[in-house]
Chain A
Amino acid sequence: MIRLVGVLVVIVGLGLRLNPLLVVIVAGFSSGLAGGMGPYEILEAIGTAFVTNRYMSLFILTLPVIGLLERHGLREQAELFIMKLKGATAGRIMLLYMVFRQATSAVGLQLGGHPTFIRPIISPMAEGAVAKGRTLPQAVLDEIRGMAAAAENYGNFFGQLIFIAAGGLLLIKGVMEQAGYSVDLLSMALYAVPTALAALALATVRYTMFDRRMKNLSLESEEENR
């Protein structure tokens, strides 16, 4: 039971809204010590994992490209582009992106995600579709951006296991085979399809409701302006 002290530190620390980096360090040290490791051994474990997981932060390389494009009006162009399209709503743009993301990850393509699509293109387009040239308050912007970031996650998570060489499927195969069960990648990929379809249906409902909310919201503010 004492081994769970690290989990407790994480839950309490994040609950108290302490800096997550600090919470993680304290949690790491406490579970390491509880597991019988020495302080230097814990530092070594942190260092090893930090270095082997550098790939998680390679998106830093895309920042100069996106930043310079933003200087030359990338966001503004994304908004203009959407305002010219009839019938383009924020929810439809996000849903379309989710379908694109599900389809690409189902054939094994990992194309980047939040830094390459959501920040520069999808979110500005959705914001433009809601704003129609007006300025939106930060709370509304936050809501649109949260929904846009979610489209990337839904598409990625509920599409990737359809790809028969997906890392997730290989891991399942490995764990099952270690326990003495032989499992077939193709049939596993097939059984990922029902969840993918359910996610798509649910997202369609949610993005449609989101559009309705955004539409009512804009009516309200127009009335206030009168």
Chain B
Amino acid sequence: MKITLDHMYVVTGLLLMVFALRSFLDKNNAKRVGTAVFWALYGVTFLFGKIIPDGIIGGMVVLMAVIASCKGLGSGFYGEASKEEKTREAKKFGNRLFLPTLIIPVVTFLVAKFTSLGALVGLGLGSIAGLIAVVLLTGNGIGTAVNEGRRLIDAIGWAVILSQFLAALGFLFDKAGVGGVIAQMVSSVVPTGSALATVIAYCVGMALFTMIMGNAFAAFAVITTGIGIPLVIVMHGANPAIAGVIGMLSGYCGTLMTPMAANFNVVPAALLEMEDKNGVIKAQIATAVPMLCVNIALMYFLAF
């Protein structure tokens, strides 16, 4: 039997179901019902996403959004170790503690490189290998590990599903033809006689539309067909390979500046338990804006 991504989704779904059950039983969580229902619904999308009709899944997704926006998620009691205990444990285990975290990327790499399973299956297998390693190292059971996992996922909260949510929004924007309208608007206000002006329009357009869509890949086809190809390549004769690459990299500058790129900016802020949920974006703006200017200059000097 070949291990596929679907198996990883089943494991993730089961883990979420255990989180849901434990949340429901956690009397210290004032919002135990909302928290449990939220993780259970999410678990169902992993376990049966391919079987349940898409419209029903859509309804479940809306329900999750309602629970989250009514502040229906809370945190509970996880029997957390004290600072003193943790320091004592750190002295006891030393640098061996790094081994299980390093097993995850190493296994991911080996699976991606030497099998046909792909990097995502590798990440799943790496996590399982890391789990076995940490259980052997610490002598704790899987139950304790799952409970600590629940501590982390409750700290992240609803932001866990934001990336998938935004992907759904991008899909709807695409279906509604939002991109074409924006590309048309931009190309109607740009002075097309100047090569530099068209380069700026293409690069800034990529960054801005990426900020709206949260995804440079989604912006690329739209802005490149709407602005890049007609104005920069056809009208001024830029090299398509060079303009294309630097256009994409301009989009990445936009990714650094938007909460819509949740899995790069919002989820990490939650994962790192930052008070300011836009803290990652704020740290990145002073790099992203100069990098956008660098890309404009590079496209102008290299592509013609």
- Using a CB–CB cutoff of 8 Å, the interface residues on chain A facing chain B are 1, 3-4, 6-7, 10, 14, 18-22, 24-25, 27-28, 31-32, 34-35, 37, 40, 42-78, 80-81, 109-112, 114-121, 123, 138-139, 141-143, 145-150, 152-154, 157-158, 161, 167-169, 171-172, 175-176, 179, 181, 183-184, 187-189, 191-192, 194-195, 198-199, 202-203, 206
Contact = CB atoms under 8 A, between A and B. Distances in A.
Contacts of B45: 50-51, 54
A65 B241 CA distance: 43
Interface residues of B, number: 145
Interface stretch (B29-37, B149-157, B186-194): B149-157
A135 B233 CA distance: 55
A46 B97 contact: no
Given A43-B59, A54-B45, 9 more contacts: A47-B58, A54-B9, A62-B104, A62-B126, A64-B146, A67-B149, A138-B275, A188-B242, A198-B298
B255 to A, nearest CB: 6
Nearest to A25: B65
The SS class assigned to the A binding surface is helix
Contacts of A43: 54-55, 58-59, 62
B123 interface: yes
B120 to A, nearest CB: 5
B235 interface: no
A118 B240 CA distance: 36
22 contacts: A31-B176, A50-B49, A51-B45, A66-B149, A69-B97, A71-B86, A71-B140, A71-B148, A77-B90, A80-B90, A111-B108, A112-B123, A142-B275, A145-B280, A146-B276, A146-B280, A149-B272, A154-B284, A161-B245, A167-B217, A183-B241, A198-B291
Contacts, number: 424
A125 B211 CA distance: 31
Contact of A65 (B104, B176, B282): B104
Given A43-B55, A147-B283, A114 B271 contact: yes
A139 to B, nearest CB: 8
Most chain A CB neighbours (cut-off 10 Å) among B100, B153, B217, B248: B248
A178 B127 CA distance: 39
Nearest to A162: B245
A68 B133 CA distance: 11
Which of B59, B131, B149, B247 counts the most A-chain CB atoms under 10 A from its CB?
Answer: B149
Nearest to A114: B268
A70 to B, nearest CB: 7
Contacts of B224: 172, 175-176
B231 interface: no
Contact of B163 (A25, A34, A56): A56
Nearest to A138: B275
Contact of A46 (B83, B168, B268, B302): B168
Contacts of B286: 206
B127 A61 contact: yes
7 tightest A-B CB contacts, nearest first:
A67-B148, A35-B176, A73-B90, A43-B58, A47-B57, A64-B149, A146-B283
B90 A72 contact: yes
